[in-house]
Amino acid sequence: MIGYVTLGTNNLEKAVAFYDALFGTIGAGRFLETEQFVAWAPSMDQPGVSVTKPFDGKPATVGNGTMVAIMLDSTDKVDAFYQKAIELGASCEGKPGPRGEMAGFYAGYFRDLDGNKLNAFHVEMPSS
């Protein structure tokens, strides 16, 4: 259902460098690019994340309660993705670990260079 999620940026060059390095760790590359907008995804048929300068020319702002969640296939990959984000200058919003009431839900939360909130998560499904 979701094709891609867009986050606003006030410095496209810095945001693109951040996401090139971060998404490269999980095999996602650029799939769409203009002078105002860059999007990454693992492949053209999977959902992606993009950054853009706001169309109206006003400063980008962070949505209160808005978050982009990146699904990964192991807790080790969550840890590595979160750590890479922090190394690239992201700020911690919750170190990786088990979260909430849902058994097997593991996530790490961070804010990118523009203050947008993201998380990396993995859900360990119970074996039947």
Give the domains, in start order, of the chain with CATH numbers.
Answer: 4-53+61-123 (3.10.180.10)
pLDDT at 128 (0 to 100): 61
The one-letter amino acid code at 34 reads: T
Say whether pLDDT at 1 is over 90. Answer: no
Angle at 87 between CA 70 and CA 121, to 5 degrees: 20
pLDDT tens-digit map of 66-121 = 999 999 999 999 999 999 999 999 999 999 999 887 789 999 999 999 999 999 99
- Picking from 47, 126, 21, 120, the residue whose alpha carbon sits closest to that of residue 79 is 120
